[in-house]
Structure 1
Amino acid sequence: MTTPAPDMSSEVAGLARKITREQLFTAKEHGFSDTQLAHIFSTDELTVRELRKHYGVESVFKTVDTCAAEFDAKTPYHYSSYDTENESVRSDNKKVIILGGGPNRIGQGIEFDYCCVQAVFALREAGYETIMVNCNPETVSTDYDIADKLYFEPLTYEDTIRIIEHEQPLGVIVSFGGQTPLKLSSRLEEAGIRILGTSSKGIDMAEDRKKFGAILRELDIPHPDYDTAVSFEEAQEITGRIGYPVLVRPSYVLGGRAMKIIYSDDSLKEYVDQALFISEKYPLLIDRFLETAVEFDIDAITDSSDCVVSGIMQHVEAAGIHSGDSTSILPYHNINPDVIRTMKEYTRKLADRLNVVGLMNVQYAVQNDKVYVIEVNPRASRTVPFVGKATAVPIVKIATRVMLGEKLSDLRKEYRLADCDELGMNHLAIKEPVFPFSKFVKSGVYLGPEMRSTGEAMSLAYNFPESFAKAYQAANMELPTSGTVFISVNDRDKDERIIRIAKDLYRIGFDLVATSGTYKFLSDHDIECKKVYKVGEEGRPNIFDVIRLGKIDFVINTPLGEQALNDEEAIGAASVTSGVPFVTTIEAAEASVQAIDCLRRQEFGVKSLQEYASYRDQ
């Protein structure tokens, strides 16, 4: 039995009586983390860490020779091991550590890796040694020749703090890797580590719904009604107060996972019963869902005294579609100038109140020209690479320099920055999501608050129809210029928009077919079309058969409600397997018709990003 040292805390002394140094070292050799050992011995991670420190049980770093010993490796990378010899040599240079995004998954991927790599370039230009920490070999940030030093380590507190203690950097950047490193900020600051950029306090104020709600009330900024619940009874009380429909999600989700739009108590009860984990620490988030609203993404660079709005992206689809799945337009178009001014004003107020330093993303919903804040992320967002390339402004480089302490007001002059959406862009850029539906047909094809896309394409042009057509082509969705269009829309979409869409399609030579409800609505408005059976109706061929037989060239199908009906899922599956392009929102249908008309009238040329960016030199 180990005799506790007199300087040990009672918790550490109690653990020391349960596990010897040799046993602890063996456990660490076999891969047990401090968190796992804390669980086994009914204590906390900090106590295990303190005992390790007392015993002198620390990991060392081994080197992977990127030159196979043929000559000295200039850019080696390292991994930790519980051994005796440390092969990682610390330099005396001023250095910064960047925490990457970890494994790629839907909702967090290469867009954050882009930010990390651009930050490495900016730091190197500023004379800093750059150290990258990431555990994903399939990213550019972990290429051996990007950073001066690379650590292949998990992005946990235990592994990260060990690297920081060894390297002793001037600071750590957590806001370029997405949500994963952001969660480490408070613990790192508590350990005395300098976080470059927004402090953990500012991050927490944006992440914590109650704190953020108080800030919005203080600043008099509207937001959809919301609350948090840890039981069905609490959730039911909230929905009774704010009204259906509501957007429900677990705390701290990534990519909108497990998000759902709920329309009734029965569906709410089913959702709560199926929720994997709800507690006081991780409650259920319930927001009033703003139907028919238009969503916007705003990216900004900010410091303690200045804020540059670097891009305002307008979503094509109405609210309810995850921002990662939405087609986005930069710059915005056909929007009330007062709405734009209001969003900029709110963005600057929030940046100042949260004391954001570096990058910030704000999501807004606009309903009847009233602006609502949905959420604020005091970090890089998935839209940053798109905005940077579209505007030809090195957003990440500027943000990195701000995080190092330079004044944004000075950088405005160097980079000729007004608000980037007011820099005189004479072209238009569209971000088009790419979906894996052809590989996962049974997963369903209808978009909602849970992110489904696995990539995105970008198109540039001098007008909206051409840019939208190019975006579809880049996303491997070839729009037809003739043939037959199937239309089936929900009752809410049976308005002047679908009438205009149908008339435009008929005008440019398409034949139209529709299911019974849509057929009657179009016929009542003197639009010629043919009726086709639904999947569940008696009679053949039904729409599933017609699509599979190759008689449909384009599908417009807009479901409504909490889940698509069997007929709508069958339509989507048939479209995917048959290679027929389809849209599932009325907004995407409107844009598609404009793009089809453009395809029929003109041929597209090719221009480089540099040519589109030439407006910056004028």
Structure 2
Amino acid sequence: MDAIGGQTAIDLSQSLAAAGLPILGSSAEAIDIASDRQRFERFLVNLGIPQPPGATVQSVDQALTVAQRIDYPVVVRPSYVLGGRAMEIVGNATELIRYLTIATEVTPERQVLVDHYMEGRECEVDAICDGETVLIPGIMEHVERAGVHSGDSMAIYPGLNLTDDEVDTLVEYTTRIGLALGVRGLMNIQFVLQGGNAYRSPSTRQNGPTEPTTVYVLEVNPRGSRTIPFISKVTGVPVAKLATRVMLGSTLRELGYEGGLWPKQRLVGIKAPVFSMSKLVGVDWYMGPEMKSTGEVMGVDRDFASALTKALQAASINLSPGMGVLLSISDQTKAHALPLVRGLAAADCRLYATEGTPA
């Protein structure tokens, strides 16, 4: 059994280890630390790496107490899940009770994770660790803010809005986690960045002071991720091949690779999701923590606009002048959406809105 097989391998790791069967790659102990909320929280505290506040709960009363302590909105999800299944962002106690009594059943045997939801910039890192060295082929920056499942979001390589200090922190945290966790093979880490100046206007970004950035770890998966083919193609690093050799006992140095961040390539790559909403009757188009995409495409070019155009065309979600666009925007995001709405109007798109959007 190996830990390159995705979530299925993760789910089987504990019972296989208990049966005395060999596991290639990361150990069952490392997998359990990354998957068990309480163990993972202690693990990051010992490393001095921040994570969103939260706790594992076994009852509705515990969940309400934790949510009140860490403040709403909160992200709730069962442990050991694939694709963000049964994962939601809830904004108040009523929504939390509904989730725990309808969406999933919380019991001592089926624990639920309750974390404070941080609306920041999300980044993703795939890495290879041999126990002594951690190689990071590249850092991906998500277009959507945290809260949209990574499989449903667009990812940009390299991170065009990341500062050198932010990149250094992501590399440092990834390296420390991989070595301390004892990863052998692949590892995927998702981060959320709060602060910084990436979402300010260009003039403010150039003239105003830079806001300090705090990097939080959302989750660590000691396994292969869906982004492996993408990051391999845009960086030229044969990630799956290297990870397999490492899991079989080779070191990265023996394979000709040093640790740290692989040199940034002179291109822009964008991973875009593909949806089959027209074929999936009754599926809500709303993007959230639960994955809804059915595939992915990529666009590669020398600049962001060209790469984005290719990715959107390949995913069949590109906009054309004069087409109709339905706007459904919450009150708290209307100010951020205004420049996008003006851009659509300038492209002569026909704009439609839900009842509460124009108010």
Q: TM-score, normalised by structure 1?
A: 0.53
Q: Distance in 2 between matches of 1:517 and 1:234?
A: 34
Alignment of 1:226-237 (within 5 A): 226-237=54-65
CA contact (8 A) 1:513 1:519 kept: no
Which residue among 124, 134, 140 is the counterpart of 1:313?
140
User: Residue 366 of structure 1: CA displacement?
Assistant: 0.8
Q: Does 1:380 align with 2:224?
A: yes
Instruction: State the shift of 1:433 in Å.
Output: 0.8
Aligned-residue CA RMSD (Å): 2.1
Aligned to 1:492: 332
Larger strand percent: 2
| Bigger relative contact order, structure 1 or 2 (CA pairs below 8 A, ≥6 apart) | 2
Matched, 1:196 2:24: yes
Deviations 1:379-402 (A, max 9, x none): 111111111122221111111111
Query: Highest Rg: 1 or 2?
Result: 1
1:297 matches 2:124: yes
What is the alpha-carbon distance in structure 2 between the residues aligned to residue 338 and residue 351 of structure 1?
Answer: 20
The alpha-carbon distance between structure 1 residues 379 and 411, as it changes in their structure 2 partners (threshold 3 A), is same
1:519–1:259 Cα change, 3 Å: closer
1:513 CA drift (Å) = 5.6
Cα contact 1:384–1:395 (8 A) shared by 2 = yes
Distance in 1 separating the partners of 2:268 and 2:35: 33
Shift of 1:312: 1.1
Q: Does 1:431 align with 2:267?
A: no
Matched, 1:419 2:255: no
Whichever residue aligns with residue 89 of structure 2, its letter is I
One-letter code aligned to 1:178 = G
CA contact (8 A) 2:133 2:259 kept: no
Q: Provide the rounded CA distance (Å) in 2 between the counterparts of 1:272 and 1:372.
A: 26
Q: 1:511 to 1:230 in 2, by over 3 A?
A: closer
Matched with 1:354 is 181
**Does the residue aligned with 2:312 lie in a helix, a strand or coil?**
helix
- Quote the offset at 1:473 in angstroms: 1.1
SS state at 2:144 partner? strand
Partner AA of 1:329 in structure 2? I
Structure showing the higher helix proportion among its residues? 1
Residue 336 of structure 1 pairs with residue 180 of structure 2: no
Output the CA distance in 2 between the equivalents of 1:418 and 1:216: 20
Contact 2:323 2:349 in 1 (8 A): yes
Q: Which sections of structure 2, spanning at least 5 residues, go unmatched?
A: 196-212
| Structure 1 counterpart SS, 2:225 | coil
2: CA distance between counterparts of 1:492 and 1:315?
20
Q: Distance in 2 between matches of 1:419 and 1:268?
A: 40
Question: CA offset at residue 325 of structure 1?
Answer: 0.7
Q: Distance in 1 between matches of 2:127 and 2:235?
A: 13
Identical counterparts, % of pairs: 43
Alignment of 1:158-169 (within 5 A): none
Deviation at 1:348, TM superposition (A): 0.6
Q: 1:412 touches 1:418 (CA, 8 Å); kept in 2?
A: no
Q: Secondary structure at the match of 2:17?
A: helix
Within a 5 Å distance, the mapping from 1:214-229 to structure 2 comes to 214-229=42-57
Alignment of 1:462 with 2:302, yes or no, is: yes
Q: Distance in 2 between matches of 1:515 and 1:279?
A: 39
Give the drift of 1:480.
0.3
Report Cα offsets for 1:83-140 as digits up to 9, x if no partner. xxxxxxxxxxxxxxxxxxxxxxxxxxxxxxxxxxxxxxxxxxxxxxxxxxxxxxxxxx
Q: Which amino acid aligns with 1:390?
A: V
CA distance in 2: counterparts of 1:189 and 1:489, whole angstroms = 48
Q: Which digits, 9 at most, give the CA deviation of each residue in 1:184-231, with x for residues without a partner?
A: 333433444332211111111111111110011101111001111111
CA deviation map 1:395-445 (0-9, x unaligned): 1111111111111123234xx88623xx24111111111112111242211
Q: Distance in 1 between matches of 2:105 and 2:70?
A: 24
Q: Does 1:472 align with 2:316?
A: no
Give the aligned partner of residue 152 of structure 2. 325
Query: How many equivalent residue pairs?
Result: 342
Q: State whether residues 235 and 264 of structure 2, in contact with CA within 8 Å, keep that contact through their aligned partners in structure 1.
A: no
Q: What is the CA–CA distance in structure 1 between the aligned matches of 2:251 and 2:279, rounded to whole Å?
A: 48
TM superposition shift of 1:457: 1.1
- Shift in alpha-carbon separation, 1:261–1:337, aligned structure 2, 3 A: same
Q: Distance in 2 between matches of 1:417 and 1:341?
A: 13
Q: TM-score, normalised by structure 2?
A: 0.89
**Counterpart Cα distance in 1 of 2:296 and 2:350:** 31
Return the offset for 1:305.
0.9
2:282 aligned partner: 442
Q: Deviations over 1:438-495 (max 9, x none)?
A: 1124221111111111111111111111111111111122420345655443222222
Q: 1:516 to 1:377 in 2, by over 3 A?
A: closer
Rounded to whole Å, the distance in 2 between the matches of 1:297 and 1:404 is 26
Picking from 78, 92, 101, the partner of 1:250 is 78
- Contact 2:36–2:79 at 8 Å: present in 1 too? no
Deviation at 1:501, TM superposition (A): 2.7
Residue in 1 aligned with 2:237? 393
Structure 1 residue 302: Cα displacement: 0.7
Q: Which amino acid aligns with 2:69?
A: R
What is the aligned partner in structure 2 of residue 558 from structure 1? none
Partner of 1:259: 87
| Structure 1 pair 227–417 and aligned structure 2 pair: CA distance change class (3 A) | closer
> Per the alignment, in what secondary structure is the counterpart of residue 304 of structure 1?
coil
Q: Secondary structure at the match of 2:256?
A: helix
Is the Cα contact below 8 Å between 2:138 and 2:264 reproduced in 1? no
- Do the aligned partners of residues 483 and 277 (structure 1) sit closer, same or farther apart at CA in structure 2, a change above 3 Å counting? closer
Alpha-carbon offset, residue 376 of structure 1: 0.4
Contact 1:250 1:259 in 2 (8 A): yes
Q: Distance in 2 between matches of 1:275 and 1:519?
A: 31
Partner residue in 1 for 2:251: 407
Structure 1 Cα separation of the partners of residues 253 and 271 of structure 2: 30
2:97 aligned residue: 269
Cα 1:486–1:252 change in 2 (3 A) is: closer
Secondary structure of the 2:186 match is strand
The answer to whether the 8 Å contact 2:271/2:296 transfers is yes
Is the contact between residue 3 and residue 23 of structure 2 (CA under 8 Å) also seen in structure 1? no
